[in-house]
Chain A
């Protein structure tokens, strides 16, 4: 098993070669309760998976199996106890619960994230318009997030992850709240990106579109098994 990452060393190694994501032997435990009644909950016990360029990979598992924990470790929102993660700097992350600002408009979100991704104003604007058209929510550009339905918030959540054309796209339950038409469009969009060479990891407790996936992992007892 790989050593626990030191705070003084980089947490992520750039992915190279034939993979855009390589997760090896990742472990993670949480400590719960007060110090005198502390209990450790071991969530990941050596989880490993890989995603190549142009692959659309699924990660399934029961509720509470640690799928979102593994996703957050890959993104950098959570630290890991052990193991290694190799992934590119240019990644897109679509969290399970939209992490957005209630009082800002759709357009303002795209502007802020374009800056964060290092895109020029023109490129950010073009990417935002293209995604809003593709996901069919351009008419909500000037609406605040609090005024949007859950499904439209999820479209924004997905759009923010995609706007800089990442090498690796991480999607955590991305179609929650989508209507049937948008759900189908989501898979079309994923396949288009995949054909362009983007590596995509989709996390879900239920994956109905298995034939579209290159490979499916199941997270069980803290480890990933290929189905």
Chain B
């Protein structure tokens, strides 16, 4: 069995992980759309209706993937470093660890997408699917990045949630003007457009691919650097 499969199985052996991976995205999509609309109204945004439901699917995948990425990186840090030192090297451990997280984040994305499809009648379902996966990959990267640098569970998970909240409340549909640091901006634009029955310009797809790829690369680099760190 490959290292990636062993690491993924390791995570799924936690009694609640699989249940949470499936239930949290579904519940979030069902319950959070109205709350997102209310917050948008208070913050000056215009998010409502199917656009809000679509965006909630992205945030659901983001939340679960960010938490997963953080705990995967933080909880296995010592043993992963020992394996790297035994001869595997930090890069190969990092790729296996992040790929294993990516598989589980894809499962969470699929659940969020399936719930979205059941709840709404989207004109561009595959646009929504890719954007939800983009959310998941972005936050998986953020989780891994934080987990590589901050080992304490409380501080690390609070940091991931803090980034999530800043990004969510400053993103498209939530405010009148979106700040440039809103990392999920293009994923949210594409999801909102899908919710409104519109397609997205190719520039948005390119930017989403660049931001997502850059985030994954940053997570990989920081994971490797932390595994090599001997301060």
Q: Which residues of A come within 8 Å of B, CB atoms? A: 75-79, 93, 95, 97, 99-101, 103-104, 108, 111-113, 115-118, 144, 160
- Please tell me if the beta carbons of B88 and A101 are within 8 angstroms of each other in the complex: no
A73 to B156 Cα, complex, angstroms: 27
- Please tell me if the beta carbons of B230 and A103 are within 8 angstroms of each other in the complex: no
Q: Give me the 3 closest cross-chain CB pairs, A-B, nearest first.
A: A79-B230, A116-B86, A116-B88
Q: How far is the CB of B207 from chain A (nearest CB, A)?
A: 35
Question: Does B6 interact with chain A (Cβ within 8 Å)?
Answer: yes
CB-CB under 8 A for A118 and B87, given A93-B82, A103-B11: yes
Proximity bits, B75-92, A CB within 8 Å = 1, else 0: 010110111111110000
A95 to B87 Cα, complex, angstroms: 16
Q: Which residues of B come within 8 Å of A, CB atoms? A: 1, 3, 6, 10-11, 13-14, 76, 78-79, 81-88, 230-231
Q: List, in ascending order, chain B residues with CB within 8 A of A75's CB.
A: 85
CB-CB under 8 A for A113 and B86, given A79-B230, A103-B10, A108-B6: yes
Which of A77, A112, A144 meets B81, CB within 8 Å?
Answer: A77
- Please tell me if the beta carbons of B230 and A112 are within 8 angstroms of each other in the complex: no
Q: List, in ascending order, chain B residues with CB within 8 A of A116's CB.
A: 83-84, 86-88
30 A-B interface contacts by CB (under 8 A): A75-B85, A76-B85, A76-B230, A77-B85, A77-B230, A78-B230, A78-B231, A93-B85, A95-B82, A97-B78, A99-B79, A101-B10, A101-B76, A101-B79, A103-B10, A103-B11, A104-B10, A108-B6, A111-B1, A111-B6, A112-B6, A113-B86, A116-B83, A116-B84, A116-B87, A116-B88, A117-B86, A117-B87, A160-B82, A160-B86
A123 to B14 Cα, complex, angstroms: 31
Q: How far is the CB of A122 from chain B (nearest CB, A)?
A: 16
- Please tell me if the beta carbons of A100 and B79 are within 8 angstroms of each other in the complex: yes
- Most A C-beta atoms less than 10 A away, residue of B10, B78, B86: B86
A94 to B76 Cα, complex, angstroms: 17
Q: List, in ascending order, chain B residues with CB within 8 A of A117's CB.
A: 86-87
CB-CB under 8 A for A115 and B3, given A76-B85, A79-B230, A99-B82: yes
Q: How far is the CB of B14 from chain A (nearest CB, A)?
A: 6
Q: List, in ascending order, chain B residues with CB within 8 A of A118's CB.
A: 87
